[in-house]
Structure 1
Amino acid sequence: MLKFFISPKISNYYSQYLRNRFRVLGIFKFKFFKLGIILIKTNNPLIRSQFANKMTYKKCLKQTNESFHYTVWLPILMSSIAFFLFETNAYSQVYERHYLSGKDAATAVAWDFMVDGGRRAGEWAKIPVPSNWELHGFGTYNYGHDHRNSDRVLGKEKGFYKLEFDAPDAWKGQVVQLVFEGAMTDTEVKVNGKVAGDVFQGGFYRFSHDITPLLNFGQENFLEVEVAKHSANASVNRAEREADYWIFGGIYRPVYLEILPELHFQRVAVNPQANGEFEALVVLNKSVEDGLLEVELFELGDEKSLGKINTPITGEEIQIDGVFEGIQSWNPESPKMYKAVLSLKEKGKTVFEKSEKIGFRTVELREQDGIYVNGKRVIFKGVNRHSFYPSSGRALSDANHLEDIQLMKEMNMNAVRMSHYPPDERFLDLCDSLGLFVLNEVAGWQQGYDTEIGPKVIKATVWKDANHPSVIIWDHGNEGGWDFENEKWFHQYDIQKRPVIYPWLIRNGVDTHHYFQYNAGVQRLTHGITPFFPTEFMHGLYDGGHGAGLEDYWRDFMRNPVAAGGFLWVFADEAVVRTDRDGALDADGNHAPDGILGPYKEKEGSFYTIKNIWSPIQIAPFVMNRHFDGNLWIENHYLYSSLTGCRLEWSLHKLEGFDKEINLDEGKLYLPDIGLGERKRVKIPLSAEFEEADFLRVAAYDWNGMELYTWSWAISGISEFADRLSASSFDMYGLTEVDEEDGLLKVKAGEMYFEFSLNDGQLKLVQKNDKDIAFKDGPIAVGVNSEVEGVNWETDPDGSINIQSSYTSYPKRSTWRVLPDGTLELEADGPLLNGQMVSYLGLSFTYPENKVKGVKWIGNGPYRVWKNREKGVEFGLWEKAYNNTITGYSYDNLVYPEFKGYHANLYALQLLTEEGIIQIVSKSPGMYFKLYNPENSPHATPGVTPEMPEGDLNFLHQISPIGNKFAGPETMGPSGNKIRAVSHGGDQAFGIKLRITFEDL
């Protein structure tokens, strides 16, 4: 009997590894039991090398010390020996990688490192790879505009990396490629003191060197990498280093070795079409005699073959084509993926094998028509995305990529533009599997590469990313960042011949103009005949842009038959952790806080606006009241999918004041076969509880169970609800006391005491049980110039006191009423202005901000709204604590939803203060309320500093819009314009009716 150490901790991984090896070698299939894997304490590099992918040899041996002895019977021992023997000759039959760095930022590996400038210059230390060195205390932080700012130090440091790694004897006779997925920017590589190849220039691209001749097999090898933050090539600096984004240095994407047989593929390029037609271009590293290339198709996760095609090899470049029957095409709504295994056979023996995950889909650009994928005209609901995370710069983890894509899908987006450089390999893998159209971009922010570097980086981009079905368009730079002479290389290298576009140009059959004003263009854009999709629009600085104006733009797009959607700027704020400023977040003024999301993916209000407007299931507008019969008109806004399998979930809710929401009834309704662009009626089976409910909530879900959007509508009429919420009885109270003194009307009612000015009718003092409450100074008309013409008062038969004011303009009349129980009522006439233009209109009051703790309200929430961004908030009971968040700026205390600003569809609110609760109930439909004026960032542009009414608390008929970084709201569509208030004699306009009470905490 022989005894060996066995480690159960690695058994699952390695058992699968052995099964795969035996399958590939064609020896036999062996069912491994969970006995563990035999580890032999040896210096044999062949055996040691087997664990390079999962764990180091030393770690494996350490784990054996935690294991126990097994008696190994001869069949198992012989099987293991056979594995090692066969593996010696077939080690690299299947494509494999051995990572020298981490696979992503979350699994980074420490390398030796030194930087020659900036912080910690000249100090050798450890740094994680992949990473950007600025985020680890080295070098200099720079934003791309710093090159033109004499007050900024422009860091041009170089970083020096060292690493020792094994090259087992088993690698002899193989080809060893050293691959860098991305380093910023000029990168020189040495192995054992010898230069591995030419310096690679370009910070966003994969490059590799054949280091086979430089290796010492069976020994430790020494890797040295020198990375220059700025390039020796001026066009690289112009394209990458002088751009509108953070400029980092370092090896920020993975580094790995490819161990390949002497004969292998240098490139595999596939072109799987939606109809099952398949072609591929395979480039060998050298020619082969009596060879065959075979492609076999599999379902992902299933070893059942779906068919094979093959072709004889006649040279180093092989063209293969055929048809796979019964496949499903790929699209973002159904991202069907397959595995294609490409085998290189020589004299009947497989000498190399590589698999590619592929999707079958067809891309066409039809002149004066649009972009078609699988024969369907595409409407892009897209966003621009930087590869960025605050604490790691451009070095990202799988979790970062997944979070970004899931948030895009949550906003009902179907497309993403890579701004302004190609993304990580893993991001595209996830776009393939989860379903997003991708516009893949070669760098060049507003200046392009020259004709020396341009062809190289285009080749690197296409070779790396062309097999991803998600990639449907190439962007050749951005906003001037191109040399037209370099375009031909996209067509040279891409066998799929995807469209090549120029963001901001009308060129190559599409129009992608950026940041145009609403209803703009002569023979282009909204009045064009060329397919248009702005690759940047709705610039979202702070709380402007994005959702604000999107509904106007989207309606305008959809009425144009050649509109193809667009891409919002930008996904998230790019505020970086400054390790030189005690970890403070820095967005470089107003250069980088442009996101729908905060730097750590905090959701701003526009997130839900976009989610609403771009939901592929839409509910047509209808009036909700007690007469609602349950009928809804459902619209299908998908590109590819019927609504079969989708569902609505509905629920009826009753509110018990501000304290409780009761679920009265609920149900599910599976949608019928509503085809693309169709509208059909469905009926919610409302129960008798509908008569008791205050609001209806309806959520739409896709066939995978993902929530698309949730709507809610108030059922109770506002007067009905107000009467129920604030019913009052006078029986327990005595007579109201009233006194007129020094131009003030003093009223005592129950526990309350009020003073009103007889000059302007404003409330000047509130006391409860002799304690001051600082609610006062109103009503004051805001939005128009209006003077008080007169004030008078009287006592009602029930003991109430009425103080009536008349005005020169709006409101023509307002009346305070003090009830005997101390309740205040205010009634003001509606807006009868006869043609006057207003940005906002209503009444204001004051209350000290420093006394406010929070607010509860019944109405639309939880986010604030603007006149041109009212979608994305829904009816319900909401609550939030006081905060002073400046959207996209106050990163030290960023709280969403923001407390301050406009809120829609007020039914009632409770302002929670140090002095008690101020409860205000509305009896006027469609009212807004405003809680203080949001502060603006000191870096705000005029477009994002909206007009706001004076006063702390406002009750409004009309609210103001907000603009974006480049323009005011009046350029962004009808909802951004001022409103002309029209009236006619005899109109009975809705006024403002409020009931105000003051309650103890």
Structure 2
Amino acid sequence: MSARLLLLLGGLLCLQTVLAQETRRIYLSGTDKDHTVDWDFYCSGGQRSGKHTTIAVPSNWEQQGFGGYNYGHDKVKADEQGFYRYRFPAPANWQQRQVNIVFDGVMTDATIKINGKLAGPVHQGGFYRFKYDISSLLRSGSNLLEVKVSKQSADAGVNRAERNGDFWVLGGIYRPVFLEVKPLVHIDHVAINATANGDFSVQTFTSALPAGCTLSAQVFTMNGQPVQEAVQVPGANGQVYTLRQSVSHPATWSAEFPNRYQAVIQLKKGAQVLHSVTQPFGFRTIEIRPRDGIYVNDTRVMLKGVNRHSAWPETGRTLSKAISILDVNLMKDMNINAVRMSHYPPDEHFLDVCDSLGLFVLDELTGWQGAYDTVVGHRLVRELVERDVNHPSVIFWDNGNEGGFNRALDGDFAEYDPQLRPVLHPWERYNGLDTRHYPDFSYVVNSSLYDQDILMPTEFMHGLYDGGHGAGLPDFWERMLQHPRCAGGFLWAFADEGLVRRDKHDSIDTDGNHAPDGIVGPHREKEGSFYAIKTTWSPVHISLPVISSGFNGRVPVENRYDYTSLAQCRFRWQLLRLPSPGKNNKADTIAAGTIPAPDLAPHAKGFLQLALPGNWQQADVLYITAQDPYGREIVTHSWPLQSPRKAANSFPGGAQQNVVTTNSGDTVIVHHADAAYYFSRSSGQLLQMMTSKGKISLSGGPVLAGIKQELQQFEVTPTNGGCTINARYEGKGFLQVKWTFQPGVSAAHLEYSYSIKGETPFTGITFRYPEEKVKGLGWIGEGPYRVWKNRLQGQQFGSWYKAYNNTITGESWEYPEFKGYHANVYRATFHTTEQDLTFYTGNEGTFLQIFHPQPPRGASNNNTNPAFPDGDIGFMNTIAPIGTKFQQAALMGPESQANGQLNYTPVRGEIWISF
């Protein structure tokens, strides 16, 4: 038998032996929000107070209908207490074991009693795992656990750091409670340092060891295959032992390739295994290289990060591994490679998922603009690091946030972390990094030109409502890529922190404008910025603005991965024929194929070569999709292959009878095909339309969006059985309008030209139409989300439909939003209570304006409420950008500037109106 097979068999036998000697974990509570256990409960104040009942554990008691709600900014906060009781059995043989009771998270002060006796000192700090040795307090048979939880801490520093933070402050035993049952002689915990070059060491902390004990460590793959033979050290008088070995050419851990191993650490006496611990880990090295960048495994990385709070609407901070998997997958789907644990440590299962799927993590000690006092802080740093030290995803420790730093604690992290991860002070310059929050575009430019510190804003592009995030990000990101000392940054924030308020008829509350900051909603509903970020941060960067008739299948591409060759990715193309826009209409695939993956190293540039069929120009749209080495979609790009004018020729023909015009006072009526068009001589505007099905209330246009002008000319002219109407308006600039009605053509043709000089938020023409009559919209163009001038990325050219909604982004969550600007629209059909109304555009790049998005109720400024024309339906050549909570759009970069015209060169356009 080969030595390798013998080693493998020996390793598997070793693992079987280990399983019999590992720590037993026995849950007294449930394990997550979906699996709870009822405990006896009494609440001292607020809702449902003053009576003995039961409560689900784990949970935040507010979400179970107890106590009172507060956001951290509230000056006066509820201070109720919760009293828990639970009975659990203890077998007689536990007298030969050490039994610890472990609380994964309690808000905020916790007093623990077993059978009427204190288990230990009151624990203060709501986001940390803590435990007590209760071996001596247990009785054989039934045991009574009593927990008193004070929502407000008796320690002013804890309240300052936690209860006054920029997040909801909740109460209760909100993470699991369990017993650890170990041998009396045991391993308490381990701390691993495994570097990218294969050096492996593990600090092993034990109980007092009797003579003759040894400790060993062996590295296995995650499927149990041994990598090296075990290393061993003898037990001595101490209780900390370090075991070292070297692994040749390990598969290193990174966000792109999250390779993991597991270490089996055994405590033996002779051949007998007394206790065993199995700990997953990764070989990974993190460095800050001053005036250069952040290096992981000797490779400079750019962190495409987001901030995450731990929250779910119905259950507050009580989550589940399923939510952790959901959230990490959503981040990976946006091509995000890093996450900051703002403003407190997460559930451990979230870090497990980051380890396995691959995200760089900034793990954070609580402290938002207020820090822990030193005595409590020393203990909480230890609890934070000891729990999370072995996660390869964690590459930084954050000591508080935005001034919530206790600098006396900076050195504590290294005491418990053999990897010596760097410590950050998010928001300030520290440790060679400038983590300034919410820099504007000029700050990034100046930093790239003059600053010597590494730029890595730990909060930027504040995503209040529909602002920030994807809006302005392309400008920021391209400048960051050019920055010689930039390490990326972290968007604020991942999800709207909306709570279901049990005291407000189960409505979702984001505390005004304090918490609707997400790329996704409270239940992870995707905003438009989700797709803009996905495209902007795609590691497969495709730069091909248009496809012309001479296209040879060659597409420029840049590899923006840090570790992955594009040869490891997969590419495919599709040629589609688009249907008429409708609720259930789907595109037809004319042809499809794969694209040879170019062998481009990280940060190299090259080309994709498409082998398209000879009839490719007959298709409506070309799609190219890239997938990563795991099959996850990286990005999909689309290009229309036909002109909008060709699409406009698809409307049905009309009757051949001549066009007839009549007059009624100020009104000119044009009878064309099966419709009548009513115009005002005094305004030159359309008043309404009538068909055999009834009235169509399109009116009040066309007018020049946002510009007041006076009618100078109005003429009705017969032309070869048809009719034209010409109108000219002047004021600031001019608008020239020409309506054409022809026999045999069912649609009315509108041509227009206008000129405006100077800066404007938008340009184009608009009409009026009653919003209450609209049921839905089908269109061919970019979709399905609305766009802003500085957030055009992420939409696909196709055939789309959406029902009417009045969503206010971040205050309601029916997405995609109906109202707003839609890009590159060729055709749009409004489904109304009157009859369907269809517009065809004749110009590429036309934006369709649909009504006016309602301003958010909680907005304190207009940064995230861009200007819109007075009209209801508009055909725009330029549109407005959107800003962030803290910055006007003009500070967010070139794409975010107002629209400017230096002279009076006319802008021309045309549309057709059909029924």
* Cα-to-partner distance string for 1:956-986 (whole Å, 9 max, x where unaligned): 11100111111211111112211211347xx
* Aligned residue number for residue 726 of structure 1: 651
Match of 1:914 in 2: 833
In structure 2, the residue matched to 1:435 is: 358
Mapped to 2, the partners of 1:604 and 1:656 lie a distance apart of: 26
| 2:161 maps to 1:239 | yes
The aligned runs of 1:523-922 (5 Å cut-off) are 524=447, 527-658=450-581, 661-723=587-649, 725-726=650-651, 728=653, 732-769=655-692, 771-820=694-743, 821=745, 823-830=747-754, 832-834=755-757, 836-890=758-812, 894-922=813-841
Deviation at 1:131, TM superposition (A): 0.7
User: 2:911 corresponds to which residue?
Assistant: 994
Give the letter aligned to residue 758 of structure 1.
Answer: R
Inter-CA distance 160–21: structure 2 relative to 1 (3 Å threshold): farther
**2:57 equivalent in structure 1:** 129
Correspondence list, 1:933-944, <5 A: 933-942=852-861, 943-944=863-864
Q: Aligned to 1:319, what secondary structure does the other structure show? A: strand
Using the alignment, how far apart are the partners of 2:407 and 2:447 within structure 1?
A: 22
Closer/same/farther in 2, CA of residues 23 and 265 from structure 1, 3 Å limit: closer
- Say if 2:388 is the partner of 1:465: yes
Counterpart of 1:664 in structure 2: which amino acid?
A: I
Deviations 1:678-736 (A, max 9, x none): 1111211101331310110111111111111111110012222222x12635xx43222
Query: How many angstroms does 1:522 deviate by?
Result: 9.5
Deviations for 1:193-245, whole angstroms, at most 9, x for unmatched residues? 1001000100001111010110112x111111111101000000010001111
956-965 or 580-589, which deviates more: 580-589
Rounded Cα–Cα distance in structure 1 between residues aligned with 2:360 and 2:586: 43
Partner of 1:250: 172
Deviation at 1:620, TM superposition (A): 1.6
Q: Which residue of 2 aligns with 1:31?
A: none
Quick one: distance in 2 between partners of 1:775 and 1:589? 37
CA contact (8 A) 2:286 2:294 kept: yes
Q: Deviations over 1:474-517 (max 9, x none)?
A: 01001011111111111222111111000100111101000111
CA distance in 2, matches of 1:587, 1:192: 41
Distance 1:93 1:770 in 2: 81
Question: 1:57-456 maps to which residues of 2 (within 5 A)?
Answer: 93-147=21-75, 154-217=77-140, 219-314=141-236, 315-456=238-379
Q: Does 1:962 align with 2:882?
A: yes
Cα distance in 2 for partners of 1:594, 1:546 equals 9
User: Which AA in structure 2 matches 1:122?
Assistant: G
Q: Which residue number corresponds to residue 72 of structure 1?
A: none
**2:12–2:224 Cα contact (<8 Å) kept:** no
Name which of 454, 462, 475 aligns with 2:398.
475
Per mean C-alpha deviation after superposition, the further-off stretch among 601-610 and 749-758 is 749-758
Are the equivalent residues in 2 in contact too, given 1:520–1:527 (CA < 8 A)? no
Work out the CA distance in 1 between the residues paired with 2:56 and 2:146: 15
- Alignment match, 2:871: 951
Q: Please give the root-mean-square deviation of Cα atoms over the aligned residues, in Å.
A: 1.9
Do the aligned partners of residues 521 and 325 (structure 1) sit closer, same or farther apart at CA in structure 2, a change above 3 Å counting?
closer
Q: Give the counterpart letter for 1:609 in structure 2.
A: A
- Whether the 8 Å contact between 1:337 and 1:358 is mirrored in structure 2 is yes
Equivalent AA in structure 2 for residue 358 of structure 1: F
Helix, strand or coil at the partner of 1:687: coil
Distance 2:545 2:746 in 1: 40
- Comparing both chains, which one has the higher relative contact order based on Cα–Cα distances under 8 Å and sequence gaps of 6 or more? 2
8 Å CA contact 2:709, 2:729 repeated in 1: no
* Contact 2:444–2:480, Cα closer than 8 Å, also in 1: no
2:27 maps to a residue whose letter is: Y
Q: In the comparison of the two structures, how many residue pairs are matched? A: 900
1:906 Cα deviation from its structure 2 partner: 1.3
SS of 2:541's equivalent?
strand
Deviation at 1:469, TM superposition (A): 0.2
Q: Deviations over 1:638-690 (max 9, x none)?
A: 11111123111211111343355221001122412210011111211101331
Q: Deviations over 1:863-914 (max 9, x none)?
A: 0000111101111101111111111113xxx311010000000111111111
Which residue identity does 1:991 align to in structure 2? R
Give 2:753's aligned amino acid: D
Amino acid at match of 1:773: I
Alpha-carbon spacing, 1:740–1:282, altered in 2? closer, same or farther (3 Å): same
CA contact (8 A) 1:927 1:957 kept: yes
What is the Cα deviation at residue 575 of structure 1?
0.8
The question of whether the paired residues in 1 share the 8 Å contact of 2:531 and 2:794 is answered with: yes
Shift of 1:805: 2.2
TM-score, normalised via structure 2 length: 0.96
Residue aligned with 1:134, SS: helix
The alpha-carbon distance between structure 1 residues 343 and 307, as it changes in their structure 2 partners (threshold 3 A), is same
1:517-559: per-residue Cα shift (whole Å, max 9, x none)? Answer: 1112797477422111111111111111111111111112111
For residues 670 and 358 of structure 1, the distance between their equivalents in structure 2, rounded to whole angstroms, comes to 35
Change (3 A) 1:347 1:523: farther
Percent identity of equivalent pairs? 42
Contact map agreement 1:695 1:715 (CA 8 A) in 2: yes
Q: What one-letter code is carried by the residue in structure 2 that aligns with 1:237?
A: N
Give the secondary structure class of the aligned counterpart of 1:504.
Answer: coil
Q: For the Cα contact (< 8 Å) 1:299–1:306, is it kept in 2?
A: no
Q: Distance in 2 between matches of 1:533 and 1:433?
A: 25
**AA at the equivalent of 2:45:** G
Q: Give the aligned residue type for 2:591.
A: D
Q: Which moved more, 1:687-696 or 1:533-542?
A: 687-696
Looking at structure 2, the residues matched to 474 and 323 of structure 1 have their Cα atoms a distance apart, in angstroms, of 26
CA shift for structure 1 position 565: 0.8
Shift of 1:809: 4.3
Query: CA–CA distance in 2 between the matches of 1:636 and 1:415?
Result: 18
Q: C-alpha distance in 2, partners of 1:267/1:252?
A: 24
Cα-to-partner distance string for 1:136-162 (whole Å, 9 max, x where unaligned):
1111111111125xxxxx210111111
Of the two, which has the highest radius of gyration? 1
Counterpart of 1:49 in structure 2 is: none
**Deviates further, 694-703 or 765-774:** 765-774
- Give the corresponding residue for 1:6: none
Which region of structure 1 is more displaced relative to structure 2, 549-558 or 798-807? 798-807
Deviation at 1:810, TM superposition (A): 4.2
Secondary structure of the corresponding residue to residue 105 of structure 1:
coil
